[in-house]
Amino acid sequence: MNFAPERFALWRVARLRRATALSAACVAAAAAGAVAALLWSHQARQAVVADEARVAAMRAQIAQWQAGADSIEGAIARYRALVKQGFVGRADAVALSDWLQAAAAARALPPPVFELTAKADETLEGGTLRRFDLGIQWVGLHEEEWLAMLHGLHQSGLGAFDAQHCTLRREAERPGLAVHCLIRWTVFEPKVDA
């Protein structure tokens, strides 16, 4: 066999170059893979942070909606209570007159003399707040009867009644009291959509 040292040296150099190139390519591929992994990891972390921020924002929005829902439910409950008390409805002067006449008849009292004066209405969101002054004169009442009439008026479901001022005095020619009273009658009339 013919051994040529020059040929062997060339063969060795060529192999070394191929091995070096292959090693460099492997190192470059590994570095590219590491950079890609770092980039992917960084993007994944940013996506997680962004998702956590969106979840926190959604939770805050849900909390606001819940507070709003609780507020609405509370307002509905208060509105229903006002409807039940008669504060929300229609200012029905005929029904008020009928109630006063029926209350007097039920207690065998003389009918009252009364006058209803409208005050300025106040337009509110969803309706109108109507106010009236009810001037009432009643004779021959006992103190308990007058208090029962005021209580009955509050329970009548016709609106809110607030005694502004009352004068009660005994009359020498008749039994019982003569009552002169000014009562503020307030009713919220909801807007009716046509």
Task: Report pLDDT digits (tens) over 72-103.
Answer: 777 777 777 777 767 677 788 899 999 999 98
* pLDDT value of residue 124: 82
Among candidate residues 68, 85, 102, the one where a domain is terminated = 85
Among candidate residues 85, 110, 129, the one where a domain is terminated = 85
- Same domain, residue pair 23 and 111: no
pLDDT at 133 over 70: yes
Give kind and range of the element (H or E) at residue 111: none
For residue 19, give the amino acid letter: A
* pLDDT value of residue 181: 93
CA R_g for the chain:
45
More confident residue, 146 or 10: 146
Among candidate residues 31, 55, 85, the one where a domain is terminated = 85
- Same domain, residue pair 107 and 162: yes
More confident residue, 162 or 193: 162
Confidence of residue 1 (pLDDT cuts 50, 70, 90): low
pLDDT at 171 over 80: no
Pairing of the two strands 160-170 and 122-124: unpaired
Burial of 52 (C-beta count, 10 Å sphere; 0-12/13-18/19+): exposed
* pLDDT value of residue 184: 93
- Total domain count, the chain: 2
The reported pTM is: 0.58
53: tokens are 């921020």
* pLDDT value of residue 102: 92
Domain that holds residue 144: 93-190
The distance between the two most distant Cα atoms of the chain, rounded to a whole number of Å, is: 160
Confidence of residue 123 (pLDDT cuts 50, 70, 90): confident
CA distance 177 to 126: 43
Pair 169, 178: CB distance under 8 Å: yes
- Same domain, residue pair 118 and 61: no
Q: Supply the mean pLDDT for the chain.
A: 83
pLDDT 10s digits, 19-55: 787 888 888 888 888 888 888 888 888 888 888 888 8
- Same domain, residue pair 130 and 180: yes
Confidence of residue 132 (pLDDT cuts 50, 70, 90): very high
- Same domain, residue pair 116 and 152: yes
What CATH number did the domain enclosing 106 receive?
A: 3.30.70.60
* pLDDT value of residue 99: 92
* pLDDT value of residue 3: 59
pLDDT at 15 over 80: no
- Same domain, residue pair 26 and 103: no
Pair 134, 182: CB distance under 8 Å: yes
